[in-house]
Structure 1
Amino acid sequence: MKIHINGRFLTQQVSGVQRYARELLSALDRCLDADAELASRFGPIPVWYPEGAELVDPPAWKHLRPSPLPGRKGHAWEQLTLGSKARDGFLLSLCGAGPLQCRHQLLVIHDANIWAFPEAFPKSYRVFHKLMRPLLARRVTHLATVSRFSAGELGRCLRVPAERFTVIYNSAEHMIGAKADPSALEKFGLEQGKYFFAAGNQSPNKNIGRLIEALERASGTDMPLAVAGGYAPGVSQARIAGTDRIRLLGRVSDEELNALYSGAAAFLWPSLYEGFGIPPLEAMILGTPVLSSNSTAMPEVLGDAVPYFDPTDVDDIAKALSSFAALGSEERAEMAERGRIRARSFSWESSAETVLDILRGLG
């Protein structure tokens, strides 16, 4: 059966699901390169994207071929143009959407956020995906997601058995050897090992407001909190302006992000809801201790490598910060090493092998 890949993500800015697709396909390409028989059976595999769209950071693959496909734009391109092209083969759609025409399809839906936190998404996005995902889930032959937690959530929301979802995990291996901006800490007025770091955005599930409140209550530390992404829902600008301990950094480059992870005393993850939660894993693989929310997928992903807190309880978050501040350097180093070992247990190659197992079973 001819294999096709939905490559619409190649024309989009790289965020969570786009990073997942790129890294998973890069690992798949390496697996094919290491096995001539598999490469001959499946490759070269076209990765279709809309003709005329500009590729963002074009990948250098050997057995996967980014290929322009003329036709419509946006969702219409995916549903009609791509659907017509790939319907007689098997399609990999790794970013939560795919054409209804293609029954023989592996569709990866990353989480149930549009049901758990609908206010975090534009109405048009919410309406489209709440309509399409149940239809796709009932039609496609193969469903996947990124954690057992998400499998349960999506099964409930989409009204399909959770057992239908294959779990194909994320990884943070892409951070190993990644470039870091040596001037980032100076740029943001931070000192190596003397600040807490968090990653937030406008979504209320990131819970940055409670984290800032907890920092104000924590004892035994006067370290500032740097937040990449900037906007903190529920936190007044007056509160931020009234202290120099809160640094809202806005959007940062990948190189700055790597430096901020590596330079922090600890990475803080107060999220209320995650299908996987890759930022704490990225921090851990770089050797930075992590303090995490105990909600949703986080215990499954982070295991016993981190201390947890209740993200709905400001006092419990503050207690976790105070407890970390009281640790000595050896205890922090042990915590960092446990995190690094845990993070390395998730690999893109292992996830790519799961995809290959599905392809091998197609006959």
Structure 2
Amino acid sequence: MIVVDGRWTGRHGIARFAGEVVARLPWAAEVRADVPPTSPRDVLSTWRLRLGRQDVVYSPGFNAGLTRARQILTLHDLIHLDEPAERSKAKEAYYEAVVRPAVRRAGIVLTVSETSKARIETWLGPSSRVEVVEVGNGCAPAFLGGSTPPPGRGRFLYVGNLKPHKNVEVLFRSLALRTANRLTLVTADVHRAEALAQRHGVVDRVEVRSGLTDAELAEVYRRHDAVLMPSLLEGFGLPALEAVASGRRVGYSSGCASVAEIVGGEGVAVGSAGDAEEWAQAMDRLLEAGPSSVAADPAWRDRYDWGSVSRRVERAVTSVTA
């Protein structure tokens, strides 16, 4: 039996991946037995299912538990270990005592980018016999709107949370250097975004929004000239994908390899992630560039189609059951 861990729910991050992928798995409706809806890191949930060695648990996230079944995890990244603000002794112990043994026993682990694949291979070590499979990430159809011309009014967009590794404060400092530009933030961290705008004296040129549907967010992308993504570390970088799909170029930190992997030649790289003047110059260059048209490429659409992602997951999971 294949058991699907159905505890991840929501519209962003791992939960978005889980919802899109699990719903498309052909065997999910036939053999699905969701792990009890407690914390994704509850190591006893899988034990309560009384599974045997012939069974497989597929998780769209990093959660593993006590069970005789093999557990196929999706490690989107190792930010819990690599980012100081996210790391803790408890998380380190969980990855070492629970996640690593589960991955080694399964002999396979899934991830969402070549960047994360390389990092996971390093974490597992050179002697590991675990196959790390990059299944990718998808883009909702609402964002595939072609290459409509940017409005050309110096309007820039940031989408995401305001955790330290997102490096968002530099955008407010760069906005202070370009008084004709405006910045919209789509984030759940509304109060912190407003406080940053106040601190840097740019309140009159900053708009903060939250709780948007895909259709609403897609329209927001198209009403801006470009997207700014100053993250220092990402496992994937969904806003970058949505931006390119919407025909918008991306300003990004050159050291953030996963975003560079998505954007390719469709953006402007900033070498010094904390340099406000360099981000201001990137905004200048993005205004000069035309729309992105890479999303019109059938191969690009197939790579980032949720159906294609789900089929990659299906092949990986069923290769173990076979």
Q: TM-score, normalised by structure 1?
A: 0.73
The CA distance in 1 between the partners of 2:119 and 2:64, in whole Å, is: 20
Question: How many angstroms does 1:266 deviate by?
Answer: 1.1
Partner of 2:283: 321
Q: What is the RMSD computed on CA atoms of the aligned residues?
A: 3.4
Partner of 1:99: 65
Question: How many angstroms does 1:231 deviate by?
Answer: 5.7
Partner of 2:32: 46
How does 1:253-272 map onto structure 2 within 5 Å? 253-272=213-232
Partner of 2:139: 172
Question: How many angstroms does 1:227 deviate by?
Answer: 0.9
Report the CA distance shift for 1:217/1:162 in structure 2 as closer, same or farther (over 3 A): farther
Residue-by-residue CA offset, 1:12-59 (whole Å, 9 max, x unaligned): 333210111121223334xxxxxxxxx6xx8613141427x8xxxxxx
How does 1:342-357 map onto structure 2 within 5 Å? 344=301, 345-357=303-315
Aligned pair partner of 1:88 in 49, 54, 62: 54
Partner of 2:259: 298
Does the aligned pair in 2 maintain the 1:120–1:204 contact within 8 Å?
Answer: no
Partner of 2:165: 205
Work out the number of aligned pairs and report it: 309
Question: How many angstroms does 1:170 deviate by?
Answer: 0.3
Return the letter of the residue paired with 1:332. Answer: G
Does the aligned pair in 2 maintain the 1:110–1:145 contact within 8 Å?
Answer: yes
Identical positions, percent: 23
Aligned pair partner of 1:111 in 70, 77, 97: 77
Does the aligned pair in 2 maintain the 1:175–1:285 contact within 8 Å?
Answer: no
Question: Is 1:239 paired with 2:199?
Answer: yes
How does 1:129-278 map onto structure 2 within 5 Å? 129=95, 131-159=97-125, 161=128, 164-176=131-143, 194=153, 195-218=155-178, 222-229=180-187, 230=190, 236=196, 238-278=198-238
Report the CA distance shift for 1:340/1:81 in structure 2 as closer, same or farther (over 3 A): farther
Report the CA distance shift for 1:282/1:237 in structure 2 as closer, same or farther (over 3 A): closer
DSSP-derived class of the 2:62 partner: coil
Does the aligned pair in 2 maintain the 1:100–1:139 contact within 8 Å?
Answer: no
The CA distance in 2 between the partners of 1:109 and 1:255, in whole Å, is: 28
Question: Is 1:75 paired with 2:42?
Answer: yes
Question: How many angstroms does 1:135 deviate by?
Answer: 2.9
Residue-by-residue CA offset, 1:125-147 (whole Å, 9 max, x unaligned): 56544543223233323211111
Partner of 2:22: 25
The CA distance in 1 between the partners of 2:237 and 2:205, in whole Å, is: 25
Does the aligned pair in 2 maintain the 1:105–1:141 contact within 8 Å?
Answer: no
Question: How many angstroms does 1:111 deviate by?
Answer: 0.3
Question: How many angstroms does 1:343 deviate by?
Answer: 5.3
Question: How many angstroms does 1:196 deviate by?
Answer: 0.8
The CA distance in 2 between the partners of 1:255 and 1:127, in whole Å, is: 40
Partner of 1:5: 4
Partner of 1:186: none
DSSP-derived class of the 1:225 partner: strand
